[in-house]
Chain A
Amino acid sequence: MAEFSTSIKEMGEISVINLKGFLDAHTAPALENNFTQLINDKKYKIVVNFQDLAYISSAGLGVFMAYIENIRDNKGDIKLTNMSDKVFNIFDLLGFPLLYEIYKNEDEALKKFSGS
């Protein structure tokens, strides 16, 4: 019960990361690699889809916090979508809704990027 994987698909300028499995202190580095890679490739418009994410701890949240400033400084953003209630509660508890845009589904987030 420790599996975690990500897959990235390109939707034009926007990169969509699909999270699957359990995001904790052990598996967080994998997500960090994704972000580092994207930043290296100057892909600053990122949507993260939580549809298949079963679990997240503060280590996972920390990944977003680590990269968001850099990404926003480069006129990009990380938008979060498709969270289960359980995952959303954790984000809510930590006040994330005020820091990040959280959407019910991926399309809304993608539209937001195009709009801006």
Chain B
Amino acid sequence: MNKKRNIISAQLQQFSAAALLLLIFKIFFGSPDSFYLRIILDLLTAAAIFFLLLALIRFENSRSSSQLSLVLNVGILLAVMFFIILFSDILLPAVFDNINLKMKNPGLVYTIVAFIYVLILVCFISYYLLTLRHFFFLNQRKNVRVYFNTMLVFFIMASLSVNFLQDESVSFISTTVFVVSVLLMIFNSLRISWIAFLSKKEKLYLLLLSFVITTLFIINIINSSGENFYSQILASFSPSLKHFNQIVMIYGSIYFLVLFFTTLFHLPTAEAFDRKAQEVTSLQYFSKLITEVLDFNDLAETVTDIAQKLSGSQSSWIIWKQGNNFNPIASKNIGFMESEKLTRHILNKISFGKLISTKTFNLGEKSLDGSSENQFSVVSLSPIKARGETHGILVAAKSIGQVFTQDDLNAIETFSDYASVAIENSRLLEESIEKERLEKELDVAREIQRKILPLKVPEYPNLKIASVFIPAFEVGGDYYDFFKINENKLGFVIADVSGKGISAAFIMAEVKGIFESLSKTIEGPKEILIKANDILKETLDSKSFVSAAYGYFDLVEKKLVFSRAGHCPLFLLRGGDSKQIKPSGLGLGLSDTEYFEKTLEEYSIDLKENDTIVLYTDGVTEAKNEKLEDFGDKHFINVLQSNLNLSADELSNKIIKEITVFSSGHEQYDDITLVIFKWQQ
């Protein structure tokens, strides 16, 4: 920054030096007739203007003003100039009496005043020239400097030739040079493509300004050709300068005239152009977003926002497929109920999967429930696809009286391609994050499950126990446990939590805690289950549901007492028969204490030699084969019936083998738990 300032000030110094020399020259030589003196005068003038232009160029580069403000500045300066000229006819004679005499024989004061007057005008002219130069170079890709500089050279030549080549015989040269200059002006004035990029409002403003400016330039030209003081002072200073001034004015008026007409002819297309420009910026903006916004919901809202603007629609939303449902999401400028209604209407008429490219769809005049006028006349539907599959539809809706132009549809089509990529990326990212999270969760769930299940079965001389536990991949929520109540009493529990994964595992852990502590202080199974129901009622959430069976073996009294809270029934294998025992009882956690208690039975069995008690979870009876048939109660009973005399271990192995063979063609969905007690006196 400082370097720039230094350069500018250096150039200003050069300018001041030249100007000063000029002044001194003027003081000493006035308006010389000598050829050489006149050349020196013009050289000094040229030098001064040159340095001034350089300084102004540098200055202008360091501040980037908008085109319109530059134009405005030109207008303002012209207006000021106009007034100066207007008033110089009045003021100057007032300041200097007998000004005409003064001009012929200038005194020091007059010279200095005239000098300053000319200096101001030179500044104005430089500014005009500079602005015209700036506009010339605006938005030009090729190296077009040569055109402008050639034109400038001709300007200078024209100015000088009028001054120095006044002979009749050579006046054709000055005319020719002048004509060439004008031709170059016209040629260079065609470089006005920068106005295309103004908004419609800016173009209107420019139209007005250019009209005013053209008029002012023309007035100025007329003024400077007249016999007023302005033109006389200029002429007496340097005829070349006067001509240069006129040439710049002519250039200015030609340029702004072309500008005026071009802007005028641009107006009808201005709005369409604005939209196109908006489309491009939107697409650029969105391309950036693709990499930045990763959250699916944010992205969807951005998509509908841009889609609505791009197509000039009133509203926009996305119909998104979630499993078997199609829901409107990211609604923009439309209520939820309305978008729901329209979505349903649209899906009734078109097949979601069959939409390949953008289509429009007319809505009737009546609203969909016939009750009121329809708010929208037509919608455009663009598929949001990934890998050939349609995941959603981007909807844009226009209000009554409006239609989709081909341009709108093209824009939306292109945009929906972009959007599809972005949305797919976001989805994939979320999916992989989710997948990773689930895997980690399952690891934790398996760990919990492993920790809460008993490591080994208790051993008793007359009670043989076998247990089998085969977990499902996604952790199914089964739990079983043994509690040594005292030397003679063995408590047991078997339970099944609905749901899967880590939430089921947590509930299992909670259930374990409940039964472990309750079994220490309460003996009766019914009472324990009632208390367990009380606790679980408070803590279970809506998705969960626990079935359980709790009981104990009294080894001295030789009996089994148990209660069943909604769990699978118990099987008693005795004397060649299998019997299903299903005392009444509701599952844990859903009903109030009073009702739970009323509907819960406690059941006692007096144990006989070789009695086998089988406890299981529905992972056994609901194991599926490749035809998706259940293993089923009947099949289970058959297996038990056919293997009555086996030991607990052998029986459990047999059952598991049967299940494995049956379900070999199908993945295990639920935990399989089997606990078998065999009483041997």
Q: Which residues of A contact B (CB under 8 A)?
A: 92, 94-99
Contacts and interface: CB of A to CB of B under 8 A. Distances in A.
Interface stretch (B114-122, B483-491, B595-603): B595-603
B598 A94 contact: no
Contacts of A96: 599
Contacts of A99: 598-599
Nearest to A65: B595
Interface string B440-461: 0000000000000000000000
A94 B590 CA distance: 11
Contacts of B586: 94-95
Residue among B584, B585, B595, B600 with max Cβ neighbours from chain A (10 Å) = B584
Nearest to B583: A98
A88 to B, nearest CB: 13
Contacts of A94: 586, 599
Nearest to A99: B598
Interface in B577-628: 584-586, 595, 598-601
Interface residues of B, number: 8
A97 B601 CA distance: 10
A69 B598 CA distance: 13
Contacts of B595: 95
Contacts of B598: 95, 98-99
A7 to B, nearest CB: 30
Contacts of B601: 98
Q: Which 8 A-B pairs have the closest CB atoms?
A: A95-B599, A98-B584, A95-B584, A98-B599, A95-B586, A97-B584, A99-B598, A98-B601
A95 to B, nearest CB: 3
Contacts of B585: 95
A72 to B, nearest CB: 12
5 contacts: A95-B585, A95-B595, A95-B599, A98-B601, A99-B599
A101 to B, nearest CB: 13
Contacts of A92: 584
Nearest to B582: A92
Nearest to B565: A95
Contacts of A98: 584, 598-601
A95 B586 CA distance: 6
A28 B598 CA distance: 23
A104 to B, nearest CB: 18
Contacts of A95: 584-586, 595, 598-600
A56 B485 CA distance: 43
A85 to B, nearest CB: 15
Given A95-B595, A98-B601, 17 more contacts: A92-B584, A94-B586, A94-B599, A95-B584, A95-B585, A95-B586, A95-B598, A95-B599, A95-B600, A96-B599, A97-B584, A98-B584, A98-B598, A98-B599, A98-B600, A99-B598, A99-B599
A95 B595 CA distance: 9
A97 to B, nearest CB: 6
Interface string B183-200: 000000000000000000
Residue among A95, A96, A98, A99 with max Cβ neighbours from chain B (10 Å) = A95
Nearest to B595: A95
A98 B599 CA distance: 5
Contacts of A97: 584
A47 to B, nearest CB: 21
A20 B585 CA distance: 28
B332 to A, nearest CB: 40
B588 to A, nearest CB: 13
A7 B509 CA distance: 53
Interface in B540-594: 584-586
A92 B582 CA distance: 10
Nearest to B587: A93
A63 B595 CA distance: 15
A99 B600 CA distance: 10
A14 B601 CA distance: 29
Contacts of B600: 95, 98
A90 to B, nearest CB: 13
A97 B586 CA distance: 12
B527 to A, nearest CB: 16
Nearest to A98: B584
Nearest to B566: A93
A92 B598 CA distance: 13
B324 to A, nearest CB: 26
A5 to B, nearest CB: 29
A50 to B, nearest CB: 19
A92 B586 CA distance: 9
Interface string B319-340: 0000000000000000000000
B569 to A, nearest CB: 11
A99 B591 CA distance: 15
A96 B600 CA distance: 10
Nearest to B598: A99
Nearest to B586: A95
A85 B315 CA distance: 56
Nearest to B585: A95
A97 B595 CA distance: 13
A94 B601 CA distance: 13
B525 to A, nearest CB: 15
B596 to A, nearest CB: 8
Interface in B179-216: none
A96 B599 CA distance: 7
A97 B599 CA distance: 8
Contacts of B584: 92, 95, 97-98
